[in-house]
Amino acid sequence: MSNMDPRGEKMKSLKRFQPDWREDVPAADSYRSIFKYDPNKFKHPSTGWYEMFKSEFAMTDADFQERQPGGDERVVLDRKPRLSESQVNAFRRIVGEENVATDDYSRVKFSHGKSLDEALALRVGKVGRVPDLAVHPRNKEEIAEIVKYCNAERIPIITYGAGSGVVLGMRASEGGIALVLRTHMNKVLSISDLNQTAVVQPGIIGPDYEAALNDAPRLFGSTRSYTCGYFPQSFELASVGGWIATLGSGQASTYYGDACDIVLSQEVVTPVGEIKTKDIPGTATGPKVNDILKGSEGTYGILVEATMKIFRYMPENTQRFSFMFPSWESTVDAAREIMQGEFGLPAVLRISDPEETEIGLKLKLKGFTGSILDGLLRRRGFIPMQRCLCIGTVEGEEGYAKHVRKMASRIARSLGGMSLTGYATRQWEHGRYSDVHMREDLLDYSIIIDTLETGVTWENLHRLHGGVRSFVKRRPGTICMTHASHFYPQGTNLYFIFMMRPKDAEEFFRFREGVVDRMVEHGGSISHHHGIGTMFAPWMEPHLGREQMEVLRALKKHFDPRNIMNPGGVLDLDPREEAD
């Protein structure tokens, strides 16, 4: 990859032209307001990024003169709802007139997530299947009534938490309703200091939940402040219900646990009745229904309340470390040793492969390329496109955090790592939630950025990473940055970020399919924490096998005999004869 070499001179001379990155808040009724992550947030590519795009994708300034369609039009569907007026009135009776929306905008907004596919389609005003109306329930009792009514009338329900999903998880059959949890069901209901738990409604998003926990003494009279321990990149966009329903995982989950680990109990409304699992920390009473419900992505029922494990909020104890390693192999070895060393666990642990490291150094660490530090690293054998960055934080009690950092650093050094202190970690922290907003700028000029991620054992990691990269690199002009960011003693995830300028969207989708095939082929899962939706549903059976799929389908048939819960292919659970 010679074109990744530093070219400071060239960059300087080209600095003159800068694309006119958009910074206008999308019109409130526009397609753009739906697919843009956050209407009010922007993050433009730096000059460095811009130069890289041109160089990697054989583009010139001229390619950045004219934008692609931006989805700025007003949403117009012009489709008659299938529900009868009397059915619509039934919902109005349950939730109140003001909480039933039949307008075109609501029908589109509350059935779309944040996937690349949806952004591309909505930019040109292309809308697939949509529900007939959006219903905004005020409490769990109303949800129980709605599900009962929908089951009796065979009306499909898609559940909209906060709409941050990226796997096409809300592709309902045409018609039915979108049940929107974000509007009213967004509160922390209570906190137990003794149990260290919080009872929360599913539509609350990360920042609101975390703020309530941090402020627990004032809001709930708690004896202390708490943290949720769950910080995915989508933290500002995703709902707690979504975390659980899709088996999510946050950037500090290596320590605090994945979403599935931090749910003590749940209340779920299904077509065959309501299930409230027990608040019991450990039990031997048969297969755990609390676990069975997690990850069902709205196909079994609607999570209406969760009792979450919470943690003591002690940000003053956070320790940071970062290291440069001479190779990907030594970086992986260090991460594995940290996870298996039994001295405690880091909260954030994140290792970048050579390509991600190099792009990060060049584009995120201002002034790094050609700097004294860069020279020092090279002389010490940390060679571009071989060297790898590792960053980490440790949380918890002060002595614990210090000890884990000390041990992690000792391991890093013993494997050839050079300490960069906490500097690189702080750099990463600044952009951890905002980098996603760059996507719209890129799509404005036909550059695609998308991600795929997989769970994998240590034994399969290098094979999978190599297998995906060799597939990807057969296509010229394809950037592939990889990191691992969620660790277990038995393995980790691999998170691939792809950037390219395909001739059309179809080319990219075919490319993405090829990558998923490679992941399955090399022993990875088809999703580590994004979930399945309809996007990865075609790989469910090839990945898990027919026998496991039949278990999930048997449960589907039990909970939802009439297939009204998030139908349309999610998790590949539609009854075989009715699947489309």
Instruction: Choose the binding region for a copy of itself from 87-95, 195-203, 230-238, 434-442 (rule: CB under 8 A).
Output: 195-203
Please, which of residues 386-405 interact with a copy of itself by CB under 8 A?
395-397, 399-400, 403
Instruction: Choose the binding region for a copy of itself from 37-45, 92-100, 138-146, 291-299 (rule: CB under 8 A).
Output: 291-299
The one-letter code for the residue type at 10 is K
Binding of residue 141 to a copy of itself (CB under 8 A): no
Residue 108 near residue 62 (C-beta atoms within 8 A): no
- In the bound state with a copy of itself, the residue whose beta carbon lies nearer, of 488 and 509, is 488
| Out of 294, 364, 465, 501, the residue judged to bind a copy of itself by CB under 8 A | 294
Binding of residue 2 to a copy of itself (CB under 8 A): no
| Out of 296, 330, 409, 566, the residue judged to bind a copy of itself by CB under 8 A | 296
Residue 307 near residue 266 (C-beta atoms within 8 A): yes
The one-letter code for the residue type at 333 is D
Query: Shortest approach of a copy of itself to residue 557 CB, angstroms?
Result: 8
SS3 of 516-537: HHHHHHCCCCCCCCCCCCCCCH
Distance CA 354, CA 481 (A): 8
Please, which of residues 49-78 interact with a copy of itself by CB under 8 A?
none
Report the SS3 class of residue 80: coil
Nearest partner of 304 among 154, 93, 141, judged by Cα: 141
Q: Work out the angle at residue 368's Cα, subtended by the Cα atoms of residues 363 and 370, and round it to the nearest 5 degrees.
A: 115
Nearest partner of 165 among 27, 334, 333, 37, judged by Cα: 37
Report the SS3 class of residue 255: helix
Please, which of residues 544-563 interact with a copy of itself by CB under 8 A?
544-548, 550-552, 554-555, 557-559
Q: Work out the angle at residue 247's Cα, subtended by the Cα atoms of residues 242 and 248, and round it to the nearest 5 degrees.
A: 70
Q: At what angle do helices 328-340 and 458-472 cross, to 10 degrees?
A: 150
Report the SS3 class of residue 128: coil
Query: Shortest approach of a copy of itself to residue 335 CB, angstroms?
Result: 12
- In the bound state with a copy of itself, the residue whose beta carbon lies nearer, of 196 and 386, is 196
Which residues make beta-bridge pairs with 448?
500
Binding of residue 223 to a copy of itself (CB under 8 A): no
Binding of residue 258 to a copy of itself (CB under 8 A): yes
- In the bound state with a copy of itself, the residue whose beta carbon lies nearer, of 248 and 326, is 248
Binding of residue 274 to a copy of itself (CB under 8 A): yes
| Out of 525, 538, 562, 575, the residue judged to bind a copy of itself by CB under 8 A | 525
- In the bound state with a copy of itself, the residue whose beta carbon lies nearer, of 123 and 140, is 140
Cβ atoms within 10 A of the Cβ of 442, count? 18
Please, which of residues 413-472 interact with a copy of itself by CB under 8 A?
455-459
Binding of residue 199 to a copy of itself (CB under 8 A): no
Binding of residue 530 to a copy of itself (CB under 8 A): yes
- In the bound state with a copy of itself, the residue whose beta carbon lies nearer, of 27 and 292, is 292
Distance CA 539, CA 572 (A): 9
DSSP letter for each residue of 328-360: HHHHHHHHHHHHHS-S---SSEEEE-HHHHHHH
Please, which of residues 97-126 interact with a copy of itself by CB under 8 A?
none
Nearest partner of 201 among 253, 117, 141, judged by Cα: 141
Please, which of residues 228-247 interact with a copy of itself by CB under 8 A?
246-247
- In the bound state with a copy of itself, the residue whose beta carbon lies nearer, of 45 and 567, is 567
Query: Shortest approach of a copy of itself to residue 456 CB, angstroms?
Result: 7
Binding of residue 169 to a copy of itself (CB under 8 A): no
